[in-house]
Amino acid sequence: MNPRVALLLAIESSCDETAVAILRGASGQAAEVLASEVSSQIALHREHGGVVPELASRNHSLHLRGLVEKALRDAGVEMGEIDAFAATTGPGLASSLLIGSTAAKGMACALNRPFLGINHLEGHLLSPFLDLTSVPPHVALIVSGGHTLLLDVEGPGVYRKLGSTRDDAAGEAYDKVGKMLGLPYPGGPEIEKIALTGNPFAYDFPRSMLHEPHLDFSFSGLKTAVLYTLQRESGKFSVADVAASFQQAVIEILVRKTLRAAQQAERQHIALSGGVSLNRALRTAFHAAVEGEGMKISVAPPELCTDNAAMIAFAALLRHLAGECSPLDGDIHPNLPLV
């Protein structure tokens, strides 16, 4: 008996990226991304040094319809062929979440199709396995601008929280330190770029909570240490050295905490996802550490690391194939936890 094949259209609008994707998949088969469209707002928000919610929601409204139409054309399918519609319903900016979820619900209602509200973090969590036939048990690190989260994953929908940040997320710390150094927004890619020419051991910045028995993170102290260093050296510092030393501290914390989590959870497989996982130095460090421990690692491909709708479609596909759906009168949840 052939497995049931499903065609899903998903929308991601949790923050400042408007994204639409169409995915095809079936149980026991690798999913196929037929179309994935993303409209970035980085240039729009750069002059403000961060995301302005009103501007973000306005631009979601402006670009969403065109992205849906382009995704359908690129996928070569008609709207009536879609089996289910999905959208991110949290966490994120309330005004932005409403744009995508309302649009997806409207299409689902018009065509009498199921709607699935998806947790943005679950999209990231599952993204390293989109091209596989199943999601194996593993320990996952989601590291992005708003989240730093360690999870023990038994399988899709079965998650146990191991640790999270107690203050700034890693990506947030990158952006704030980038601003201190006078680098353009977003600071993460700029720090990564300039760190290539710096000495990662020029400054011995703190590795907060690295030796604590728990698996939580804290980057506020590291950020403050960078600020005090810049004030103390009063313009005599090397931007490249500060960037490289800061990045080295973040990487060491993330890698060592994640390996410890895997050992405690007795997992031999680690997965890495989220916008910060695009950082090549972080990827290199993880691959080296995992290889040294005889473990396996899965990392989301670059196009699935930053906010995108393909990862939302994949999470929705797994739930749809399991017979799940969400109520059309369900609300968004700006502070929605994953577990």
Domains for the chain: give ranges and CATH numbers.
5-130+305-321 (3.30.420.40), 138-300 (3.30.420.40)
Helix and strand tally (H, E) in the chain?
A: 10, 10
Per-residue pLDDT of 196-206, as tens digits, reads: 999 999 999 99
> Would you put residue 257 in left (φ > 0), alpha (ψ -120 to 50) or beta?
alpha
Per-residue pLDDT of 68-118, as tens digits, reads: 999 999 999 999 999 999 999 999 999 999 999 999 999 999 999 999 999
Distance from C-alpha of 16 to C-alpha of 224, rounded to nearest angstrom = 27
Measure Cα distances from 318 to 83, 155, 200, 222, 292 in Å. Answer: 13, 11, 42, 39, 33
Distance from C-alpha of 54 to C-alpha of 171, rounded to nearest angstrom = 22
Per-residue pLDDT of 134-189, as tens digits, reads: 999 999 999 998 899 999 999 999 999 999 999 999 999 999 999 999 999 889 99
- Give the confidence band of 274 by pLDDT, cuts at 50, 70, 90: very high
Q: CA 302: distance to chain centroid? A: 11
pLDDT at 2: 58
- Give the confidence band of 1 by pLDDT, cuts at 50, 70, 90: very low
Distance from C-alpha of 147 to C-alpha of 217, rounded to nearest angstrom = 10
Report the mean per-residue pLDDT for the chain: 95
pLDDT at 54: 83
